[in-house]
Amino acid sequence: MNTVLQAKGLCKTYTVNKHKNDVLKNIDLTVYEGEMVAVMGPSGSGKSTLLYCVSGMDKVTAGEITFGGKDTSKLGDKELARLRLNEMGFIFQQMYMMKNLTVLDNIILPAVRSKKNHESRRKTEERGKALMKRLGIDDVCENDINEVSGGQLQRACICRSMINSPKMIFADEPTGALNGSSSDEVMDELLSLNRDGTTLMCVTHDPKVAAKCSRVLYLVDGGIVGEKKMGHFDPNEMSIRDREKELNSWLMERGW
């Protein structure tokens, strides 16, 4: 399998009032093309910090990160911004959207800003609408963001993350602000993207979400202390309840 993301000796230290807090400690990590990797661990274990560091949103204190064959530690801020815009997609628990834009305009904004996109505005809008149709929200194209449900808005965020055909999507608690049914719908869409070949890394506290991923990493005090290979989820071969039971048993062995 081709490697999309690799981290070696990754460390992240914050200094507050001369006190050092080692949030990440010598992390080695490889994500392969087509994987859907969940990152779990107790609060304060460094899950979100890990995602922000490997995606170039936060600077590392030490270590190397390679994304798509590029050493991101050698890139300047503008180069990192271009890399994130053109080759990465992001989904967050808080659904950051521009309030003065319609749902469709929010979705296509990264493509409009991307210098690698040479298509017409009309073509970009057509691609955005096609993504919305795929995720079942094409009927809210022209709605303001305060005129749609939380589940619809998060699916719009998924569309936005896909608009530039990224090598990898990074998701930080993508279902954390949703109710049960909306959470299931969003995860179904992420699984659909993964089955189509999109690589994902997902930070989550929810075993039900993690059980649908192909691999689970467990962080404690800034270090990876366990890895569970789940395999790609196929509802025809194994029920989600069986996968949850298997994962919960593994998590409990690690003090979850």
Phi-psi region of 204 (alpha: psi -120 to 50; beta: other; left: phi over 0): beta
Residue 9's SS3 state is: strand
In a 10 Å sphere around its CB, with 0-12 CB exposed, 13-18 middle and 19+ buried, how is residue 98 labelled? exposed
Question: DSSP E strands: which ranges in 95-205?
Answer: 168-172, 199-203
In which band, very low, low, confident or very high, does the pLDDT at 185 lie, cut at 50, 70 and 90?
A: confident
Kindly report, residue by residue over 188-200, the tens digit of the pLDDT: 889 999 999 999 9
Query: What integer pLDDT is reported at residue 182 of this predicted model?
Result: 81
Query: What integer pLDDT is reported at residue 111 of this predicted model?
Result: 95
Q: Over the chain, what is the mean pLDDT?
A: 92
Do residues 155 and 123 touch, judged by C-beta distance below 8 A? no
Say yes or no: domain 3-253 is CATH 3.40.50.300.
yes
Do residues 200 and 232 touch, judged by C-beta distance below 8 A? no
How many angstroms separate the CA atoms of 189 and 214, rounded? 15
**Closest to 54 (Cα-Cα) out of 9, 121, 113:** 9
Instruction: Assess whether pLDDT exceeds 80 at residue 30.
Output: yes
Instruction: Assess whether pLDDT exceeds 90 at residue 118.
Output: no
Instruction: Assess whether pLDDT exceeds 80 at residue 177.
Output: no
Residue 216's SS3 state is: strand
**Angle formed at CA 197 by CA 195 and CA 198, multiple of 5 degrees:** 100
Q: Which residue has the tokens 């690698």?
A: 116
Which is it for the CA torsion 167, 52, 180, 208, positive or negative? positive
How many angstroms separate the CA atoms of 82 and 74, rounded? 14
